[in-house]
Amino acid sequence: MTEPTLPRFASINLADGAIVDAAEVIVRRLSDMPASFHDQRAVQALLVSDPVLYRVYMPRQPGGSFGLYTATSVIEPGRVGDEYYMTKGHFHVNEGAPEVYLTLSGEGKLLMQTRDGRFEMQDMKPGVVNLIPGEWAHRTVNTGETRLVFLGVWPADAGHDYDSVYEQGFARLVLATADGPQVVPNPAYRGR
Ligand code: M6P
Ligand code: ZN
């Protein structure tokens, strides 16, 4: 008989979204995703300081042997030109692998799109659970004045396909205006 995988737990510092004693922290700066933003003059100007856009905290966990990954994502408030800070976004390599988000603090938008050109958007705010089916690329956008913090859970065999999103872009942009966040078609979108 093989040894059972041991139960674990993780603690989230609710003040900043960090997982206490994280095994890994992914830090994404503007220079990691300059082509994701529509205003390239604003990108060039901001690259001088190269701000941190978000961090992903992975707890100590058995990973593949457990079957699920867990992480908190913490997106800073801010904008590149008129476009809010956001994640790179990705498809799952395994399109049978869904994902669940629970927002803990802040406010934002979850953008989702399929390879055949469908687009959906959901609000993110504390207490909201977003259920993302396996075929949908997902990107999160911080539209608030504070950090957007959410917990994500996804199958260990999902895999991240960043290239498709990076090459095609997302079908919509979320822009800051005097009337608040506006969602507009992305003229540079190269998907279907
Ligand atoms: C969530 C999950 C992670 C993802 C992270 C940041 O925590 O979806 O899998 O890595 O958000 O998003 P991205 O990988 O697109 O930068
Ligand atoms: Zn995912």
- Closest Cα to residue 191, out of 133, 111, 108? 111
> 19-73, pLDDT tens digit by residue?
999 999 999 999 999 999 999 999 999 999 999 999 999 998 766 778 999 999 9
Distance between CA atoms of 151 and 16, rounded to whole angstroms?
12
Q: What is the mean pLDDT of residues 169-191?
A: 96
**Ligand 1 atom 1: the closest Cα is on which residue?**
152
Strand order of the β-sheet with 137-142 is 119-124, 108-113, 137-142
Dihedral class, residue 19 (left if φ above 0, else alpha if ψ from -120 to 50, else beta): beta
Higher pLDDT, 3 or 47: 47
pLDDT of residue 173: 98
Q: What is the mean pLDDT of residues 99-113?
A: 98
Element (H, E) at 139: strand 137-142
pLDDT of residue 62: 66
For ligand 1, which residues put their CB under 6 angstroms from it?
28, 56, 71, 73, 87-90, 99, 152, 154, 160
**DSSP class per residue in 174-187:** EEEETTEEEEEE-T
| Ligand nearest the Cα atom of residue 139 | 1
Contacts of 4 (CB under 8 A, 6+ apart): none
Name the average pLDDT for the chain. 95
Distance 179 CA to ligand 2 centre (A): 31
Higher pLDDT, 66 or 79: 79
**Ligand 1 atom 10: the closest Cα is on which residue?**
56
pLDDT of residue 86: 98
CA 186 to chain centre: 18
